[in-house]
Amino acid sequence: MTGRDKHRCSVVTRELIGHSDALREFLDRKESGRFPHAWLFEGPKGIGKFSAARLLAAIVLGSMYNINKNKCLVEFDQNFHKVEAESHPDFRIISRQADSNGKLPPFISVDQVRAMNGFFELRAAQGGYRIAIVDAVDELNANGANALLKTLEEPPENCLLILIHHGSVSMLPTIRSRCVSLKFGPLGDSDLREVHQVHDAHDVSDQLVSLCEGSPGRLEQFLDIEGDALLNAMKLALKDSFPVISSSRIAGILALMTQSEEHMDLAITDLSSWLAVKAREAKNVSLSRRYSEGWAALHETRARGQRLKLDLSEQASSCLKLLVDLGQDMSETV
């Protein structure tokens, strides 16, 4: 088999849309023979870092692949099937594990990291690499991070460690300095639509795609809560009548926003985007400033609610009051 042939896929494949530049950088380093043992996959949560890491793990363990401008196809062979099922003897995923009640702990346990270190000390079952993905280093406490350093400082031969980092918390400089950083950015709207169409034939609005900010994970969350229906309700109840907003409409939107954290996230994202557009399109500087101040106040109110873990109804009420007050202010100046 030639070097070209070994990357040729069969008909049955798994694919990753987007992030081709990052994948090429990783694969080029592998083919060069100067392959780092530790990688740091960095970027916002939900944009596909873990999916990319799992796909690349399958490739390193022997699955054939083909990569083009915006897509990487990997043959869904027995090797990839075992990686996807987490049953491959040379592959591990380290992440938070739910307890018997289905509750996730706040951190990855130090025992899981120590078990990973023990896994790396074993001989590879297939004679190649042993690979572990830590999803994510944001969820390591001090003890877990220190245990991770042991493998980073003294890496066994033919081990590959991929660390997922969302950037929600800072990481130890000693961990970062021992890894090669690979940046993952948000997907474009066309790639995001293609990701959606691979898994779901139903249509999705341009507005909902735009509000996902390039995150397939976020799009999936918003689709699960029928996000387009929430957006339509907010348009009819708030935006179309602005600056006049009736109390009955506020009550209806309040009920929708407080159904879940995902409902609240989508509603605030939508209102934030709308206020930003209003600020840009305002007829004068004074009007633009008021919309901008409303945008900033909305963000601060939501951030405070999350920081203090306030009830969703309290957060939603505070955010909607800002909108009502802004509308009244606008009405008085007309």
Q: Per residue in 41-77, pLDDT tens?
A: 999 999 999 999 999 999 999 999 999 888 999 999 9
Residue 136, pLDDT score: 96
Distance CA 312, CA 262 (A): 11
Long-range contacts of 29-35 (CB under 8 A, 24+ apart): 29/180, 30/59, 30/60, 35/160
Task: Please tell me whether residues 14 and 157 are part of one structural domain.
Answer: yes
Residue 127 maps to a domain: yes
Residue 201 maps to a domain: no
Distance CA 199, CA 55 (A): 17
Task: Please tell me whether residues 27 and 169 are part of one structural domain.
Answer: yes
Residue 278 maps to a domain: yes
Task: Please tell me whether residues 26 and 175 are part of one structural domain.
Answer: yes
Residue 12, pLDDT score: 53
Does 10 score more than 80 pLDDT? no
Q: What are phi and psi of 71, to 5 degrees?
A: -150, 140
Task: Please tell me whether residues 161 and 269 are part of one structural domain.
Answer: no
- Tell me the residue range of the domain where 253 lies: 225-333
> Token pair of 292, please?
């901008």
Task: Please tell me whether residues 148 and 15 are part of one structural domain.
Answer: yes
pLDDT digits (tens, 9 = 90+) for 131-179: 999 999 999 999 999 999 988 998 999 999 999 999 988 899 999 999 9
Q: Which of 183, 212, 243 is the last residue of a domain?
A: 183
Task: Please tell me whether residues 27 and 126 are part of one structural domain.
Answer: yes
Residue 318 maps to a domain: yes
Task: Please tell me whether residues 68 and 174 are part of one structural domain.
Answer: yes
Q: Which of 130, 157, 183 is the last residue of a domain?
A: 183
Closest CA to 194 of 84, 73, 70: 70
SS (H, E, C) the chain: CCCCHHHCCCCCEEEEECCHHHHHHHHHHHHHCCCCCEEEEECCCCCCHHHHHHHHHHHHCCCCEEECCCEEEEECCHHHHHHHCCCCCCEEEECCCCCCCCCCCCCECHHHHHHHHHHHCCCCCCCCCEEEEEECHHHECHHHHHHHHHHHHCCCCCEEEEEEECCCCCCCHHHHCCCEEEECCCCCHHHHHHHHHHHCCCCCCHHHHHHCCCCHHHHHHHHHCCHHHHHHHHHHHHHCCCCCCCHHHHHHHHHHHCCCHHHHHHHHHHHHHHHHHHHHHCCCHHHHHHHHHHHHHHHHHHHHHHHCCCCHHHHHHHHHHHHHHHHHHHHHHC
pLDDT digits (tens, 9 = 90+) for 77-136: 999 999 999 999 999 999 999 888 889 999 999 999 999 999 999 999 999 999 999 999
Chain-centre distance for alpha carbon 96: 16
Residue 149 maps to a domain: yes
Residue 197 maps to a domain: no
Residue 196 maps to a domain: no
Task: Please tell me whether residues 94 and 238 are part of one structural domain.
Answer: no
Distance CA 34, CA 316 (A): 52
Does 276 score more than 70 pLDDT? yes
Q: Which residue's structure tokens are 């009007």?
A: 287
Residue 304: pLDDT band (50, 70, 90) is very high
pTM listed for this prediction: 0.86
> Token pair of 192, please?
């995001």
Q: Which of 161, 183, 205 is the last residue of a domain?
A: 183
Residue 23 belongs to domain with CATH number? 3.40.50.300
* Amino acid letter, residue 49: K
Task: Please tell me whether residues 21 and 126 are part of one structural domain.
Answer: yes
Residue 9, pLDDT score: 43
Residue 212 maps to a domain: no
Task: Please tell me whether residues 176 and 233 are part of one structural domain.
Answer: no
Task: Please tell me whether residues 16 and 163 are part of one structural domain.
Answer: yes
Task: Please tell me whether residues 11 and 98 are part of one structural domain.
Answer: yes
Domain count, the chain: 2
